């Protein structure tokens, strides 16, 4: 940590991890309701557990991205943050709004929440990931504007590196792409078509730029590789992201009422969407091999190397499996999509967030790296969470395939609930892996409560001195 104002990142990272834990709890509840539909009903109906799970995901990732921005932008710009005070106020506003929204979901029936918060004035509620009441959506825009103002002013007074331009540009993109949340046309097909501007625009476009920038920053810092090389790679990767991803949005348009040409366009371009993830793996490992130093934070390096691999599996491989129109015809809206969603969100965005937290938190706590013992706990958490998430993905894949065969194919397709009852073994497996994931999270969080910093061996100290 080079600048005092980078400290504002710390509460963002801590809150991100707390909300992450909350997300997993609601995931476990929703997952168990697949097995016992009366569990916690009517106190927490499935839709409430589900929207709490997905909304907490978005909020904790945004928290982590914002923390990362407040940490990275000053260091890249080589100047103090424009206003650390504003960043802190923004933090409390955002956290307060998030907690209040969650309480709203949990304690007020959704239609009543809509009525209480003026949804009639400008209907925005009732879309996946965008369930928040109108005032909360406005609050999200204000929080984003505050962040953008703060980091843009910092950029303007400091050094303008390509990495900082990519990161700040992508955060502007993130905010702009949220604005269609206020556009909810009465025509369902148009509503669906424009909903993807946000969801696809974020996770298969703009956020990949953020992912690249965070990973690039970590690699520059940890490997000591020349930034010119890192930034050139980044531009190539994000060029491929948008070249394939913009028209690739067509894979969401096959069966929602949009014209037939999207079947061809979406299939061709989305089939190319794994390319940037393959490049990301090549990039990360090339930088690792070219490293000019051995950073003591082994755990952060593990997260940084694991991110592109798991992101490729989840976004690239599982995404490709369901993206071609003739396949999607049978698997659209099944748990195969959920399988892809879980591994892609985790591999790409959760893991890169944990990577930057892993790199920055020890520095924010005044040490280059955590003690070897703490890192062992953290790396154990890494493996348990990654393997558990792959388990969840495989279980949901099994369930999705059963639905495709029994409900979508054949001369005598079975009804939805009948098919679901044949998938119980997969739902048990998913819940079991979910509990393992939670265990992994506890192991991971344990590492933060271990004191002491990394101690170099005598040999290393002598080598450093010479």
Residue list 33-52, contact with other proteins (CB under 8 A): 33-34, 36-38, 41-42, 45-48, 50-51
Pick the binder of other proteins from 14, 242, 281, 436 (CB under 8 A).
242
Residue list 344-403, contact with other proteins (CB under 8 A): none
Cross-strand pairs, 162: none
Pick the binder of other proteins from 106, 413, 460, 462 (CB under 8 A).
413
Pick the binder of other proteins from 95, 211, 249, 315 (CB under 8 A).
249
Query: Is there a contact between 252 and 204 (Cβ–Cβ < 8 Å)?
Result: no
Residue nearer to other proteins on the CB measure, 95 or 280: 280
Residue 211 binding other proteins, by CB under 8 A: no
Residue 252 to residues 32, 66, 197, 257, Cα–Cα distance (Å) = 29, 28, 10, 10
Burial, 186: exposed, middle or buried (Cβ in 10 Å; 0-12, 13-18, 19+)? Answer: exposed
Phi then psi dihedrals of residue 370, to 5 deg: -75, 165
Residue nearer to other proteins on the CB measure, 33 or 150: 33
Residue nearer to other proteins on the CB measure, 243 or 317: 243
Closest CA to 240 of 198, 199, 211, 263: 211
Token pair of 313 as six digits: 């599996």
Please name the residue ranges forming H helices in 408-452.
416-421, 424-446
Residue list 316-345, contact with other proteins (CB under 8 A): 329-330, 332-335, 337-338
Among the listed ranges 294-302, 308-316, 415-423, 456-464, the one in contact with other proteins (CB under 8 A) is 415-423
Query: Is there a contact between 2 and 75 (Cβ–Cβ < 8 Å)?
Result: yes
Distance from C-alpha of 282 to C-alpha of 219, rounded to nearest angstrom? 13
The least CB distance from residue 1 to other proteins, in Å, is 27
Residue list 420-449, contact with other proteins (CB under 8 A): 420
Residue list 126-145, contact with other proteins (CB under 8 A): 126-128, 131
Largest CA distance in the chain: 77
Token pair of 37 as six digits: 């539909």
Residue list 99-118, contact with other proteins (CB under 8 A): 109-111, 114-115
Query: Is there a contact between 231 and 177 (Cβ–Cβ < 8 Å)?
Result: no
Residue list 173-202, contact with other proteins (CB under 8 A): 184, 186-190, 192-193, 195
Residue 260 binding other proteins, by CB under 8 A: yes
Residue nearer to other proteins on the CB measure, 65 or 193: 193
């Amino acid at each position: 940590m080079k600048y005092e104002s980078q400290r504002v990142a710390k509460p963002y990272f801590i809150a991100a991890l707390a909300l992450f834990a909350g997300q997993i709890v609601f995931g476990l509840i929703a997952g168990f309701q697949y097995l016992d539909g009366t569990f916690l009903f009517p106190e927490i109906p499935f839709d409430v557990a589900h929207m709490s799970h997905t909304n907490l995901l978005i909020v904790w990732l945004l928290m982590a991205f914002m923390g990362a921005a407040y940490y990275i932008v000053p260091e890249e710009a080589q100047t103090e943050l424009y206003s650390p005070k504003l960043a802190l106020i923004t933090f409390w506003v955002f956290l307060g709004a998030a907690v209040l929204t969650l309480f709203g979901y949990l304690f007020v029936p959704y239609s009543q929440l809509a009525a209480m918060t003026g949804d009639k004035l400008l209907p925005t509620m009732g879309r996946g990931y965008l369930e928040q009441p109108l005032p909360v959506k406005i609050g999200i825009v204000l929080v984003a504007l505050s962040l953008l103002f703060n980091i843009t002013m910092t950029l303007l007074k400091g050094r303008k590196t390509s990495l900082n331009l990519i990161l700040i540009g992508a955060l502007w993109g993130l905010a702009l792409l949220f604005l269609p949340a206020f556009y909810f046309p009465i025509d369902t097909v148009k509503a669906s078509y424009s909903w993807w501007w946000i969801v696809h625009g974020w996770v298969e476009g703009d956020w990949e730029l953020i992912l690249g920038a965070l990973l690039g920053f970590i690699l520059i810092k940890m490997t000591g590789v020349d930034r010119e090389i890192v930034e050139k790679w980044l531009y190539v990767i994000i060029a491929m992201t948008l070249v394939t991803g913009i028209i690739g949005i067509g894979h969401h348009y096959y069966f929602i009422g949009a014209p037939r040409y999207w079947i061809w366009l979406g299939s061709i371009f989305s089939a190319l969407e794994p390319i940037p993830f393959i490049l990301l793996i090549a990039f990360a490992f090339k930088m690792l091999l070219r490293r000019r130093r051995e950073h003591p934070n082994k755990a952060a390096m593990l997260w940084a190397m694991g991110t592109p691999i798991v992101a490729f599996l989840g976004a690239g491989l599982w995404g490709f499996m369901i993206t071609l129109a003739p396949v999607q015809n049978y698997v659209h809206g099944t748990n195969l999509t959920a399988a892809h969603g879980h591994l892609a969100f985790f591999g790409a965005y959760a893991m890169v967030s944990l990577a930057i937290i892993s790199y920055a938190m020890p520095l924010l706590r005044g040490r280059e790296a955590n003690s070897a013992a703490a890192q062992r706990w953290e790396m154990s958490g890494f493996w348990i969470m990654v393997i558990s998430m792959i388990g969840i993905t495989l279980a949901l894949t099994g369930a999705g395939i059963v639905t495709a065969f029994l409900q979508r194919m054949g001369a005598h397709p079975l009804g939805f609930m009948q098919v679901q009852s044949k998938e119980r073994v997969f739902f048990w497996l998913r819940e079991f892996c979910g509990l393992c994931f939670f265990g992994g999270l506890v192991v991971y969080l344990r590492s933060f409560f271990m004191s002491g910093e990394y101690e170099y061996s005598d040999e290393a100290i002598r080598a450093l001195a010479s």
